[in-house]
Amino acid sequence: MKIASFVGAILLSFTSLVWAEPVVSRDWTSGLSLDETTQKEICWASTQAITGGAPAELMLKFQKDRQSVPTAFLKVWSGLAADPQLLIKMSAQRSNALFLYEPARKEEDPSVYAYAPIEFPALLSLIASANNLEIKSTAAKLLVSLKGSSAALQNLRKCMGGTEPLPLDFLKSLNAKTENLPNQTHPSAKDMLAKVEEAYQSYLQKTAKDKELKDLRATMKPTLAKEATAQKTYDTALKAWQKTTDQLAAEKLKERNLQDGLAASKSELTRQEAELVVAQQDLAQKKAIYEPLKKEMEPFVQDVAKKDKALQAANQEIKRLKNRIPTIESRISSLRRENSNLSSEIDDLDRRISSARSELDSRDWDVRRFNASSEISSRLFHSWEYSRAEGRIRDLEGAASRAEREWDRARSDLRDLERQYDACRAVPEQNCQSQESAVNQKRNEVRSLESRRDQAIREKWSAENDRERIRREIESQVQRELSDLESKRDQAANVLRDLESRKRSAENQQSSNQSEIRQLQNELAYARKKLPELEASVPSLEQALLQSQQARDAKSAAIGYANAEAQFQAASTRVTTLQKEIPALKKTITKTESDLKKIKPVIAQLEKTLEKQTTTRDQALTKLQPLQEALKPSREIESGLLTVIEDLARRFESAKIDYQSHYRQLLGLK
């Protein structure tokens, strides 16, 4: 009824508002008014500063108590002609629709357009920030002045309590994409907005019920926590009790099965022991009849076995020889081919051995004729660098000797001057400056000559080191060449040894093959001779076996041996079977009795444990049940609330689907 009154009163609301001191903000006006139809306070903002076409008015209406969906309407005084929809330009790329809500009934009446709540926040943001709002029709383009719109919207927000005026969560849910929308028989803007209001009322009621449910659960929370603890204690006790109950039942079932099995085994043992006595007596009777007949039949049986063995041996040998002959022939052919190949290989090895021996002789001669000492002396003699080093050493030795002599002379002169200087200083007040100067000058000369001598010695040592380095390099080079020659000689010797070894191996293999060929030829000759003889003997062996079998069978039939043997074997088998089964039964009985002794204390312990666990379980249940009873009324209320919430959610979803279906069909998308 509330939704119906909303739909019916939308048009009237433009004229039924009781104005109370509206606020003018340039081209926009805002205020708080009472809707006389619904008796609800309405926060609104509007403008008539619209150019580019027929006179028009844009109004935004928000119910102060937020119990109805905010709306945006456009009235256009364009006569009786009205477009089915107008387009609000939201950006350069997209526009949103204003649908014809109520066409003009008279020439002087306005046509009313309603805005579907698509991108409502974006529309308010655009109105607050842009300079104008463009609304297109088929014939004109209306420009809505937005001067003062920001202040008007601020007043509207204050009117709504200073908080967000739009139900953003509701609008987001309402416009969430839905697939497979139904077709509306008569899509209209009125029905679309009615479905929006229906969805909003369901949303508000569900929100209230959600809060009621939340508050209820908050009051239940302390008791629920106690119940959860008690339930956990009870579940643990019940689980332990059930586990022990199951174990006890299993052990008792096992005990009954053991008792039944023991009784059955003892009964079966008594029966088999009695049967064994009878079977042994029967076997003794059968054996008394069978043994004399067996002794009488023994020569006939042995004769049949002997002749059968001879026939089988002949047939097996025939089969073996038939298989062996082609194997021998194939092996002989293979060995002959191998020997032929070995002969070719030996000839080739002979040629290679001769060449390798010549190579070894050549390499050995190279080593023997290479005299390392002579070669070193020769290379040192012909080495320009070595000769130059020796010449330099000789020159430096001469220079060093001269420097040594000059140094010795200078030292001798220095000693003479020092004696003269000492003699001068011994005379009182004698001027000895000239002597002192001569001594100092000579000392400097001695030091200089000593330095020259040391330098000459060092240069001589350096030259000797160079000479020694050259000698070592030549000796090392000669030694490398000698090692290279020896290595080549050793390689040639290794090649020769390898070829000779391969030749010996080939000759040995050839000899072994030839020996095997002779052995196989002898075996082949024997097989070819023996095979016809054996094949010729088979008919006579078969005839002899047949006659022996006939004689055995005739004797057996005459004395009744076959029947006596069958009866004896059956009696013997029965006795043997019983002799095996009786000990097995006794073993089973012993084990079963042992198992029964073991299971009794287990059952007693389980019964004792179960008694304690039953008490624990009952105590836990005693604590749990009062809590469950205390929560029962709240749970019933909770269940009722959940049912109502689910119903409201379904009603919201149904209204949402119908709204989106109307919207898309009005746009011509479906």
User: How many whole angstroms separate alpha carbon 110 and alpha carbon 48?
Assistant: 13
Residue 20 dihedral angles phi and psi, to the nearest 5°? -135, 95
Return the pLDDT at 439: 82
**What is the length of the chain?**
670
Asked if 637 contacts 216 with a C-beta cutoff of 8 angstroms, the reply is yes
The full DSSP string for 27-59 is TEEEEEEEETTTTEEEEEEEE--EESSS-EEEE
116: left (phi over 0), alpha (psi -120 to 50) or beta: beta
User: What is the rounded distance in angstroms from the CA atom of residue 192 to the CA atom of residue 101?
Assistant: 10
Q: 30 and 44 in contact (C-beta within 8 Å)?
A: yes
609 has a pLDDT exceeding 80: yes
CA 289 to chain centre: 79
* Rounded Cα distance, 513 and 343, in Å: 12
pLDDT per residue over 218-255, tens digit each? 998 998 899 899 999 999 999 999 999 999 999 999 99
> Helix, strand, or coil here: 194?
helix
What is the 3-state secondary structure of 59-80? EEEEECCCCCCCEEEEEECCCC
- Residue 321's Cβ-side half-sphere holds a number of Cα atoms within 13 Å equal to 19
The pLDDT of residue 15 is above 50: no
Mean pLDDT throughout 393-403? 83
pLDDT value at 639 more than 90: yes
Secondary structure in 3-state letters for 289-321: HHHHHHHHHHHHHHHHHHHHHHHHHHHHHHHHH
CA pair distance 317, 310, nearest whole angstrom: 11
Q: Helices 433-559 and 384-426 sit at what angle, rounded to 10 degrees? A: 140
What's the pLDDT score for residue 163?
92
Q: What is the pTM assigned to this prediction?
A: 0.47
Closest alpha carbon to 60 in 155, 131, 132, 175 = 155
Q: What would the two tokens of residue 197 be? A: 């209001």
pLDDT tens digits along 41-78 = 999 999 999 999 899 999 999 999 999 999 999 999 98
User: What is the mean predicted confidence (pLDDT) over 424-431?
Assistant: 81
Amino acid 454: pLDDT: 85
Predicted pLDDT of residue 497: 94
Q: What is the pLDDT of residue 579?
A: 92
380's CB contacts (< 8 A; 6+ apart) are: 386, 470, 471, 474
On the question of pLDDT at 9 being above 70, the answer is no
Average pLDDT score over the chain: 90
Given phi > 0 = left and psi -120 to 50 = alpha, else beta, which region is 119?
Answer: left
Within 13 Å, how many C-alpha atoms sit on residue 503's CB side? 15
* CA end-to-end span of the chain: 30
pLDDT in tens, 132-181: 999 998 888 999 999 999 999 999 999 999 999 999 999 999 999 988 88
The answer on pLDDT for 642 being more than 50 is yes
Per-residue pLDDT at 670: 59
For the stretch 273-326, pLDDT in tens is 999 999 999 999 999 998 998 898 899 899 999 999 999 999 999 999 999 999
Q: What is the pLDDT of residue 599?
A: 92
More confident of the two residues 474 and 256: 256
Distance, CA of 457 to CA of 351 (rounded, Å): 66
- Measured CA to CA, the distance from residue 29 to residue 47 in angstroms comes to 6
What is the pLDDT averaged over residues 416-425? 84
d(CA 188, CA 196) in angstroms, rounded, equals 12
Q: What number of other Cβ atoms are within 10 A of residue 433's Cβ?
A: 8
Spacing of C-alpha 245 from chain mean position: 44
Q: Which residues pair with 338 in a beta bridge?
A: none
What is the mean predicted confidence (pLDDT) over 11-15?
Answer: 39
Judge whether residue 94 has pLDDT over 70.
yes
Q: Are the CB atoms for 485 and 363 separated by under 8 Å?
A: yes
* Choice between 396 and 353, residue whose per-residue pLDDT is larger: 353
Cα–Cα distance list, 26 to 55, 152, 528 (Å): 18, 9, 136
What letter represents residue 105's amino acid?
R
Topology (CATH level 3) of domain 354-540: Helix Hairpins (1.10.287)
Q: Which of 643, 359, 317, 598 is nearest to 499 (CA)?
A: 359
Protein fold of 2-166: Immunoglobulin-like (2.60.40)
Q: Structural domain boundaries of the chain?
A: 2-166, 354-540
pLDDT tens readout for residues 654-665: 999 999 999 999
Residue type, 516: E
Reported as a single tens digit per residue, the pLDDT across 480-520 is: 988 998 899 999 999 999 999 999 999 999 999 999 999 99
Which pLDDT belongs to residue 250? 95
